[in-house]
Chain A
Amino acid sequence: MSVAIGAAIAVLTGIGAGIGIGIATGKAVEAIARQPEAKKDIRSSLILGCALAEATAIYGLIVALLILFFL
């Protein structure tokens, strides 16, 4: 039981990644609306930012799986 709770807490890292990617995407939409000609550059930096922000959620998931299966 406590193992499952530990895994659930580890997975909460997803909150941060979700908020972060949401803010980043919102800003990117604003930027594209203001300057549609810079769409390509904005999109590639958005993908980069999302990939980096998402990493924390992935670490949380991996820690949760490790807790579940090896503890």
Chain B
Amino acid sequence: MVEKLTAAIEETMETQVVFTIPIFGGIPVSSSVVVTWIIMAVIILLSIIFTRNLKLVPDKKQVIIEAFVSFLRNFCRDQVGEKGMRYFPYLSTVLIYLGFSNLIGLFGFIPPTKDLNVTAALALMSIILIEVAGIRAKGTKGWLKSFTKPVAIITPLNVLEIGIRPLSLCMRLFGNILAATIIMEMLKAIVPVFIPVVFSLYFDIFDGLIQAYVFVFLTSLYIEEAIDVEE
């Protein structure tokens, strides 16, 4: 029993290398990259299918996609405000990608967000975008000055936050998805019938979507804070 559980945990912990590109002494391509390619292909295909033949009077297909896009726009407008809608494409892209990648465990693929490298890259993209948004909105001088707000004594904490924010964004997503995958693997190792289906509803669908939401929510919250100019 214990050996079975240990094997299940060890299997989920390691990152699988699918194949190696035979240049520069071999570049290993891990499964998260391959699954990301699959997600990209699916999203691109869906975008092409849904945005072909757009009409002024929408048909059924177009109504669905219009409802979806306006849902995303409203969600972002609520978080970042009218000024921040410039960052809507990035936020919605990350939301769609994370939604797909957290749900892809249902189809038997390994979720790419279970790989620490993927979440670290996403968190780095987010923190760079946040700081650039701050610089654009306030100017370099205003951006530097914003570190001393609200009181000068907490400047070190504000500087530390540049490092802490992406770290916690990255670890939160990675830890949640990893924990969910480990628990599912352990369940499958002990009771292979029926019980995993029930838990999969929570761990794969609910938790995955909540984490995608939380990642984008926090990113947009930080952006909103960064572009908030005091008069």
Size of the A side of the interface (Cβ < 8 Å), in residues, is 12
B218 pairs with A61, CB closer than 8 A: no
Cβ of B13 under 8 Å from chain A: yes
Contact status of A54 and B13, CB under 8 A, knowing A47-B213, A47-B217: no
A58 pairs with B172, CB closer than 8 A: yes
Question: A59-71 vs B: 1/0 string, CB under 8 Å?
Answer: 1011001000100
- Smallest distance from the beta carbon of B43 to chain A beta carbons, Å? 25
B213 pairs with A58, CB closer than 8 A: no
Chain B residues touching A, majority SS = helix
Cβ of A51 under 8 Å from chain B: yes
Contact status of A61 and B175, CB under 8 A, knowing A55-B168, A69-B13: yes
| In the complex, residue of chain B having the shortest beta-carbon distance to the beta carbon of A41 | B78
Contact status of A51 and B217, CB under 8 A, knowing A59-B171, A61-B179, A62-B175: yes
A58 pairs with B214, CB closer than 8 A: no
- Smallest distance from the beta carbon of A65 to chain B beta carbons, Å? 7
Which residues B79-121 have CB closer than 8 A to chain A? none
- Smallest distance from the beta carbon of A5 to chain B beta carbons, Å? 16
Size of the B side of the interface (Cβ < 8 Å), in residues, is 17
Cβ of A48 under 8 Å from chain B: yes
Cβ of B148 under 8 Å from chain A: no
Contact status of A65 and B13, CB under 8 A, knowing A51-B172, A58-B175: yes
- Smallest distance from the beta carbon of B177 to chain A beta carbons, Å? 10
Q: B residues within 8 A CB of A61?
A: 175, 178-179
**What are 29 A-B residue pairs whose CB atoms fall within 8 Å in the complex?**
A44-B78, A47-B210, A47-B213, A47-B214, A47-B217, A48-B214, A48-B218, A51-B172, A51-B214, A51-B217, A51-B218, A54-B172, A54-B176, A55-B168, A58-B172, A58-B175, A58-B176, A58-B179, A59-B171, A61-B175, A61-B178, A61-B179, A62-B171, A62-B174, A62-B175, A65-B13, A65-B178, A69-B10, A69-B13
